[in-house]
Amino acid sequence: MGIFDFLTGEFIDVIHWVDDTRDTMVWRFEREDHEIKYGAKLTVREGQAAVFVHEGQLADVFTPGLYMLETNNMPIMTTLQHWDHGFKSPFKSEIYYVNTTRFTDLKWGTKNPIMLRDPEFGPTRIRAFGTYTVRVKDPALFMTEIVGTDGEFTMDEISYQVRNIIVQEFSRVIAGSGIPVLDMAANTADLGKMIAAEISQIVAGYGLSIPEFYIENISLPPAVEEALDKRTSMGLAGDLGKFTQYSAAEAMTKAAANPNGGGGMGAGLGMGMGMAMANQMAGNQGPWGAQPTAQHAPVQHAPVQHVPVQHAPAAVHAAPPPPPVEHVWHIAEGGETKGPFSKAKLGRMATSGEITRETYVWTAGQDGWLRAEDVQELAQLFTILPPPPPGM
């Protein structure tokens, strides 16, 4: 092997980069003493750009393709000095590969709430978060303004700065948009485009672009959300009278399904509540309550056609009012609540000694727990004693 062959084979002649990471934006081709062989092959793949730096100055930017590093296709090479020993001299330069693909699923969010003046709620605060994508649009400008001589530059090194720009522009645009908070969810696409346009103008100075910008959520402070939920609940309730009737019907259904009442207690309670509701609704229809049935029709018309005026009180034959609703009672025993129990059931429990005068009881409408002997309706259960047993 001649000295010429030995020297010309000492230097690599193929320059390329295969990215096996997900966040590398710039990678410098490493070569001892940064010596690049004259006539070396430079491979630039799709989604890449190669920046050629010679003696500290950016010389050229190569787009995807295959290049021979020679004088005829690199104007900078005409100024290089060659050895005088029968072969071309290597030159000390640097080649940086720049990833020009999109870096996706990058997160952004407002660290602190944004103050704005809402047309409906007045001064309020909101938070927001979402995702965005970024890509290198101008490799030369990106190298000059951001990377410098960093041999391996990742997305993490600039993501914090980009997020700060996003939050700043988002706050400015959202505060001046005049869109009510309740309508922002329907306008996130338009807001995203407006904000992306403002951000792109700033990051363009870094050689970057923001191809996509998404707003995933805009939320209010917890106190405002709670007040909004109450307002929504009132709107859903509508007619408060109907809402009350519905709530009573729900309570009746739960009481009827309660197995602790014993002896058909649940059914009796459900029937009593149902009759009370029927009486209430009938009272809203007029002084005579519900319309009379067919067999009572003659009685209603009797004062007009067949009965003298002085017999008008015949209307007393109308259906009697429903019986009063029977109270049901809960008892407190050993720190636990039991029931509900009917008055008859409590009478049997008093006879068997399960409850005494000192037992605390409660029923709907009663102001707190009372001893059984202090409740007029239950006191008689303990005053009526059975006769003495035979043989006494």
* Higher per-residue confidence, 262 vs 179: 179
Q: Which domain holds residue 80?
A: 3-99
Last-in-domain residue among 79, 99, 119: 99
pLDDT digits (tens, 9 = 90+) for 266-278: 455 455 555 555 5
Could you tell me if 51 and 112 lie in one domain? no
What is the rounded average pLDDT for all residues in the chain? Answer: 75
Could you tell me if 14 and 116 lie in one domain? no
Does any domain span residue 218? yes
Could you tell me if 113 and 210 lie in one domain? yes
CATH of the domain at 130: 3.30.479.30
Could you tell me if 46 and 107 lie in one domain? no
Residue 317: pLDDT band (50, 70, 90) is low
pLDDT value of position 109: 93
pLDDT at residue 68 greater than cutoff 80? yes
Could you tell me if 65 and 31 lie in one domain? yes
Does any domain span residue 88? yes
User: pLDDT over 90 for what percent of the chain?
Assistant: 22
Q: Is the pTM of this model over 0.85?
A: no
pLDDT at residue 130 greater than cutoff 90? yes
Does any domain span residue 108? yes
pLDDT at residue 340 greater than cutoff 80? yes
Could you tell me if 154 and 57 lie in one domain? no
Does any domain span residue 95? yes
Could you tell me if 79 and 119 lie in one domain? no
pLDDT at residue 146 greater than cutoff 60? yes
Could you tell me if 10 and 94 lie in one domain? yes
Could you tell me if 118 and 207 lie in one domain? yes
Structurally, how many domains does the chain consist of?
3
pLDDT digits (tens, 9 = 90+) for 5-40: 434 444 446 888 998 888 899 999 887 666 677 778
Residue 230: pLDDT band (50, 70, 90) is confident
3-state SS of the chain is: CCHHHHHHCCCCCEECCCCCCCCEEEEECCCHHHEECCCCEEEECCCEEEEEEECCEEEEEECCEEEECCHHHCHHHHHCCCCCCCCCCCEEEEEEEEECCCEEEEEEECCCCEEEEECCCEEEEEEEEEEEEEEECCHHHHHHHHHCCCCEEECHHHHHHHHHHHHHHHHHHHHHCCCCHHHCHHHHHHHHHHHHHHHHHHHHHHCEEEEEEEEEEEECCHHHHHHHHHHHHHHHHCCHHHHHHHHHHHHHHHHHCCCCCCCCHHHHHHHHHHHHHHHHHHHCCCCCCCCCCHHHHHHHHHHHHCCCHHHHHHHHHCCCCCCCCCCCEEEEECCEEEEEECHHHHHHHHHCCCCCCCCEEECCCCCCCEEHHHCHHHHHHHCCCCCCCCCC
pLDDT value of position 49: 94
The least confident of 89-103, 170-184, 225-239 is 225-239
pLDDT at residue 67 greater than cutoff 70? yes
Could you tell me if 117 and 69 lie in one domain? no
Does any domain span residue 339? yes
Could you tell me if 35 and 93 lie in one domain? yes
The least confident of 93-97, 146-150, 207-211, 324-328 is 324-328
Does any domain span residue 356? yes
pLDDT value of position 299: 45
Could you tell me if 206 and 134 lie in one domain? yes
Last-in-domain residue among 206, 224, 242: 224
Does any domain span residue 53? yes
pLDDT value of position 297: 43
The least confident of 128-132, 257-261, 286-290 is 286-290
Last-in-domain residue among 201, 224, 247: 224
CATH of the domain at 340: 3.30.1490
Residue 142: pLDDT band (50, 70, 90) is very high
pLDDT at residue 300 greater than cutoff 70? no
pLDDT at residue 81 greater than cutoff 70? no
Does any domain span residue 239? no
